[in-house]
Amino acid sequence: MVEQLQNNISRIGHEKIQLLKGENLPTLFVETLLELHIKYLNIIQETFSNDPDFISSLDKACATIVNMKNGNCLSAKAPELLAHYCDSLLRKSSKTSTESEIEEKLLHGVTIFNYLEDKDYFQRVSFV
């Protein structure tokens, strides 16, 4: 059952990521992944009483989605999209958002960052 949940989350996540388009792609990417993470985390908490095996399956599924490598998938650009998301928060949001709103959004970015395999690439992109 744990493996079925993991496969289901991965499949749904890949489908959602493939559908993303538009000018605000970094924000859409992070928000889509976060929405998926929160949805399944709530299901695991309510249905499976935070069972560590199910939490682990969620983490593995999210890592699979974020780190998927193929030519036409946004996940291959995850470090870059996440870096742009954080950069736009720090540069532009300070004028339109409160400090607590920015901090909450940065924590969302950290949630996605934890699933990145290539954290060094994120660092190179974010400081260019």
Q: What confidence score (pLDDT) does residue 118 get?
A: 79
pLDDT tens for 54-92 read 999 999 999 999 988 655 455 568 888 898 888 888 887
CB 44 within 8 A of CB 58: yes
Q: What confidence score (pLDDT) does residue 73 get?
A: 58
Does 128 score more than 70 pLDDT? no
Q: Report the C-alpha gap between 103 and 29 in whole angstroms.
A: 18
Q: What confidence score (pLDDT) does residue 120 get?
A: 80
Distances (CA, A) of 23 to 28, 72, 113: 9, 17, 22
Q: How confident is the model at residue 124 (pLDDT cuts 50, 70, 90)?
A: confident
pLDDT tens for 5-41 read 999 999 999 999 989 988 899 999 999 999 999 999 9
Q: DSSP secondary structure string, 29-97?
A: HHHHHHHHHHHHHHHHHHHHTT-HHHHHHHHHHHHHHHH---TT-GGGGHHHHHHHHHHHHHHTHHHHS
Q: What is the pTM of this model?
A: 0.85
Q: What confidence score (pLDDT) does residue 97 get?
A: 77
> What is the count of structural domains for the chain?
1
Q: Which domain holds residue 74?
A: 2-126
Q: How confident is the model at residue 94 (pLDDT cuts 50, 70, 90)?
A: low
Q: What confidence score (pLDDT) does residue 107 get?
A: 92
